[in-house]
A and B are shown apart, each in its own frame.
Chain A
Amino acid sequence: DQQVKQNSPSLSVQEGRISILNCDYTNSMFDYFLWYKKYPAEGPTFLISISSIKDKNEDGRFTVFLNKSAKHLSLHIVPSQPGDSAVYFCAASERRTGANNLFFGTGTRLTVIP
């Protein structure tokens, strides 16, 4: 069963507006969360991460929010740009147990309309 879920397969946003991508997880042992971005014919590339000791991490236009009680995280992109159009994967791991494998969601395809 999927331990990391992205329930929206696609999202379209106007250029300049905010994009919000959502992710839910079921394993309460997860303590490190990441977002990856994937362009066609390329491998996923790391975008931003957050540890479970924080509830927010910001890097330029990208902010990740973590709600541990709801087992939910989200990625905000402000302002959205056409170059942000890609598939975004949410991932999680149990760093405190020493395991470093990542569990991924099924991805959300973001389209930013110029």
Chain B
Amino acid sequence: DAGVIQSPRHEVTEMGQEVTLRCKPISGHNSLFWYRQTMMRGLELLIYFNNNVPIDDSGMPEDRFSAKMPNASFSTLKIQPSEPRDSAVYFCASSLFGGNTEAFFGQGTRLTVV
């Protein structure tokens, strides 16, 4: 398996623009997580899905953030409108719900909002 695949690897956008980050989880995994990494807070959980259903989105910072998982093999995290303080590395991870809770991470998307 290729592991968790995220795209793009890097995104530079202007303030106010819409940004969409994409994630393909490991085949067979039924839990998917979106994390944001910052120096101050480390890895923050934004939202997670079990069997394509959002379970906990309490970590989503504002209404500008939204996430979807239309099927078991694809998820998106959208920021609209983007702001400079959204600049961070965003990670997607997947795991097998009901099994070990080791999550496998993608390589991340480095977002820069100027």
Contacts and interface: CB of A to CB of B under 8 A. Distances in A.
Contacts of A100: 31, 48, 50, 95, 97-98, 101
Nearest to B107: A43
A34 B42 contact: no
A43 B4 contact: yes
B42 A46 contact: no
Given A41-B107, A42-B107, A43-B107, A34 B101 contact: yes
Interface in B48-96: 48, 50, 55-56, 91, 93, 95
Nearest to A90: B42
A101 B45 contact: yes
Prevailing SS type, chain B contact patch = strand
A43 B33 contact: no
Interface residues of B, number: 28
Given A100-B97, A101-B56, A102-B33, A46 B104 contact: yes
Given A43-B107, A44-B91, A95 B42 contact: no
Interface stretch (A13-21, A58-66, A76-84, A103-111): A103-111
Contacts of A2: 41-42
A45 B45 CA distance: 16
Contact of B101 (A32, A106, A107): A32
Nearest to B44: A104
B91 to A, nearest CB: 6
B102 interface: yes
13 contacts: A36-B105, A41-B107, A42-B107, A43-B91, A43-B105, A43-B107, A46-B102, A93-B101, A95-B101, A104-B43, A104-B44, A106-B42, A107-B43
Interface of A: 2, 6, 32, 34, 36, 41-46, 49, 89, 91, 93, 95, 99-107
